[in-house]
Amino acid sequence: MAPELLIPSLEEMGHNGKRQKNTQLRASGYKQPIIALTAHAMAEERARTMAAGCNGHLTKLLDKIELLRTIQFYASKDSKRENFIEQ
Protein backbone atom coordinates (compact mmCIF):
# COMPACT_ATOMS: atom_id res chain seq x y z
CA MET A 1 0.00 0.00 0.00
CA ALA A 2 1.41 3.39 -1.01
CA PRO A 3 1.64 6.28 1.46
CA GLU A 4 -1.13 8.85 1.10
CA LEU A 5 1.33 11.76 1.10
CA LEU A 6 5.11 12.15 0.75
CA ILE A 7 7.11 15.10 2.12
CA PRO A 8 10.74 14.43 1.10
CA SER A 9 13.56 16.71 2.21
CA LEU A 10 15.08 17.65 -1.12
CA GLU A 11 18.49 18.72 0.14
CA GLU A 12 19.14 15.12 1.17
CA MET A 13 18.55 13.93 -2.40
CA GLY A 14 20.11 16.83 -4.32
CA HIS A 15 18.47 18.44 -7.34
CA ASN A 16 19.13 15.58 -9.77
CA GLY A 17 18.22 12.97 -7.19
CA LYS A 18 14.84 14.53 -6.46
CA ARG A 19 13.96 14.73 -10.15
CA GLN A 20 14.93 11.10 -10.70
CA LYS A 21 13.10 9.85 -7.62
CA ASN A 22 9.92 11.78 -8.40
CA THR A 23 10.06 10.66 -12.03
CA GLN A 24 10.46 7.04 -10.90
CA LEU A 25 7.56 7.37 -8.46
CA ARG A 26 5.27 8.88 -11.08
CA ALA A 27 6.34 6.35 -13.74
CA SER A 28 5.57 3.49 -11.35
CA GLY A 29 2.02 4.82 -11.00
CA TYR A 30 2.30 6.74 -7.72
CA LYS A 31 -0.51 9.29 -7.91
CA GLN A 32 -0.56 10.57 -4.34
CA PRO A 33 0.71 14.09 -3.51
CA ILE A 34 4.42 14.79 -3.15
CA ILE A 35 5.21 17.96 -1.18
CA ALA A 36 8.76 19.25 -1.58
CA LEU A 37 10.50 20.28 1.65
CA THR A 38 13.43 22.57 0.93
CA ALA A 39 15.41 25.48 2.32
CA HIS A 40 15.02 27.30 -1.00
CA ALA A 41 12.09 29.71 -1.24
CA MET A 42 12.92 31.29 -4.60
CA ALA A 43 10.38 31.10 -7.42
CA GLU A 44 12.91 29.22 -9.58
CA GLU A 45 13.21 26.46 -6.98
CA ARG A 46 9.44 26.22 -6.67
CA ALA A 47 9.20 25.86 -10.47
CA ARG A 48 11.88 23.13 -10.42
CA THR A 49 10.07 21.13 -7.74
CA MET A 50 6.80 21.32 -9.66
CA ALA A 51 8.58 20.31 -12.89
CA ALA A 52 10.07 17.36 -10.98
CA GLY A 53 6.59 16.03 -10.23
CA CYS A 54 5.83 17.61 -6.86
CA ASN A 55 2.37 18.91 -6.07
CA GLY A 56 3.43 21.42 -3.43
CA HIS A 57 6.43 23.18 -1.93
CA LEU A 58 7.21 23.90 1.73
CA THR A 59 10.25 25.79 2.93
CA LYS A 60 12.37 25.24 6.02
CA LEU A 61 12.12 26.47 8.78
CA LEU A 62 8.66 25.02 8.89
CA ASP A 63 5.74 26.86 10.34
CA LYS A 64 3.69 24.29 12.26
CA ILE A 65 0.35 25.73 11.15
CA GLU A 66 1.42 25.82 7.49
CA LEU A 67 2.63 22.20 7.67
CA LEU A 68 -0.60 20.98 9.26
CA ARG A 69 -2.72 23.00 6.84
CA THR A 70 -0.83 21.50 3.89
CA ILE A 71 -1.19 17.96 5.21
CA GLN A 72 -4.89 18.50 5.85
CA PHE A 73 -5.38 19.95 2.37
CA TYR A 74 -3.72 17.02 0.60
CA ALA A 75 -5.11 14.36 2.92
CA SER A 76 -8.64 15.55 2.18
CA LYS A 77 -10.44 12.97 0.05
CA ASP A 78 -12.41 15.64 -1.80
CA SER A 79 -9.38 17.73 -2.80
CA LYS A 80 -9.36 18.23 -6.57
CA ARG A 81 -6.48 20.70 -6.85
CA GLU A 82 -3.24 19.49 -8.41
CA ASN A 83 -0.96 22.22 -7.09
CA PHE A 84 -1.01 23.80 -3.66
CA ILE A 85 -0.84 27.59 -3.75
CA GLU A 86 0.63 29.00 -0.55
CA GLN A 87 -1.01 32.11 0.84
Q: Find all residues with CB under 8 Å of 13, minimum gap 6, and list them.
A: 21
Helix (H, G, I), strand (E, B) or coil at 42: coil
- List pLDDT tens digits, range 22-81: 778 888 888 888 888 888 888 888 888 888 888 888 988 888 999 999 988 888 765 554
How far does CA 2 lie from the centroid of its chain? 15
Least Cα distance to 35 among 6, 4, 67, 68 occurs for 6
**Which pLDDT tens digit goes with each residue over 37-46?**
888 888 888 8
> What global pTM score does this model have?
0.73
